[in-house]
């Protein structure tokens, strides 16, 4: 299909391991977002890209979290030295336009469920 | 800061019952408002949205009206189906980012 895809769908990591989560946005979408969804909670904003530029990373919980989108398409969220509190579903979303885009629809992927043991 | 509060679940209804899920928000200005739905095993899907006061969003029999006076965006459906069982999230747009409520699980029994 032409939706947002994410891989892997499930990831189990031992505490201290590094992980990389991939997001393929809808083709042509300028804006890309990462959200973190803890169990039983709503998603919380992590970071925002407009093309390859990371315009907002204010939601990243610590400097162990790093996101990139080098060619303005695929994005990777990397978590270094994972901790148990990093266990969550990581959601990627994309939208067509850039700018404030307050009314732009964000289309979400299925998420990656990360479990840190 | 901006925030969204929605009623806690789970909400359990019989098929064909009337549904209301309450949502209120706190924000500066007049943000766009959204309802997203998450079916079991699937990603978040936009259900409906409203971009200004008194707008009514509607889709698949669901409706919500943007009420500036009460800062609310309650979700309603006149007759729920078993297939509506899911988690529903109310959200507002704070510039480009979405701020979500904690979600309300709906269970519809035949």
Residue range A57-106, pLDDT digits in tens = 999 999 999 999 999 999 999 999 999 999 999 999 999 986 555 557 89
Q: Does A48 touch chain B (CB under 8 A)?
A: yes
Structure tokens at B9: 């679940």
- Counts for chain A of helices (H) and strands (E), in that order: 0, 11
Interface of A with B in 55-94 (CB under 8 A): 56, 59, 91, 93
Strand B11-14 and strand A31-37: pairing? unpaired
Nearest partner of A92 among A34, A10, A21, A25, judged by Cα:
A34
Strand B86-94 and strand B23-26: pairing? unpaired
**H/E element, A67:** strand A65-68
Residues 6+ apart with CB under 8 A from A26: A2, A3, A4, A94, A96, A107
Return the bridge partners of B97, or none: B94
- Residue B99 to residue A35, Cβ atoms within 8 A: no
In the numeric block, the tokens 């303005």 are attached to A72
Q: Encode chain B (110 residues) as per-residue pLDDT tens digits.
A: 899 999 888 999 999 999 999 999 999 888 999 999 999 888 899 999 999 999 999 999 999 999 999 999 999 999 999 999 999 999 999 888 999 999 999 999 99
In the numeric block, the tokens 């509607």 are attached to B58
Q: Does B3 touch chain A (CB under 8 A)?
A: no
């Amino acid at each position: 299909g032409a939706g947002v895809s994410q891989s892997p769908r499930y990831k189990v990591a031992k505490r201290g391991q590094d992980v990389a989560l991939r997001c393929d946005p809808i083709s042509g979408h300028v804006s890309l977002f990462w959200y973190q969804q803890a169990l039983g909670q709503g998603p919380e904003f992590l970071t925002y890209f407009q093309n390859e530029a990371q315009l907002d990373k204010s939601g990243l919980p610590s400097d162990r979290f790093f996101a990139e989108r080098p060619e303005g398409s695929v994005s990777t969220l990397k978590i270094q030295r994972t901790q148990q509190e990093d266990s969550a579903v990581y959601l990627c979303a994309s939208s067509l336009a850039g700018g404030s885009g307050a009314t732009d629809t964000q289309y979400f992927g299925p998420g990656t469920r990360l479990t840190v043991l | 800061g901006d925030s969204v509060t929605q009623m806690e679940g789970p909400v359990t209804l019989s098929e064909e019952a009337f549904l209301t899920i309450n949502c209120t928000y706190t924000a500066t200005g007049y943000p766009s408002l959204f309802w997203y739905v998450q079916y079991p095993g699937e990603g978040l899907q936009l259900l409906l949205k409203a971009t200004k006061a008194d707008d009514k969003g509607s889709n698949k029999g669901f409706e919500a009206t943007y009420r500036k006076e009460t800062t609310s965006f309650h979700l309603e459906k006149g007759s729920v189906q078993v297939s509506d069982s899911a988690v529903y999230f109310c959200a507002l747009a704070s510039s480009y980012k979405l701020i979500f409520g904690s979600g309300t699980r709906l269970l519809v029994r035949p």
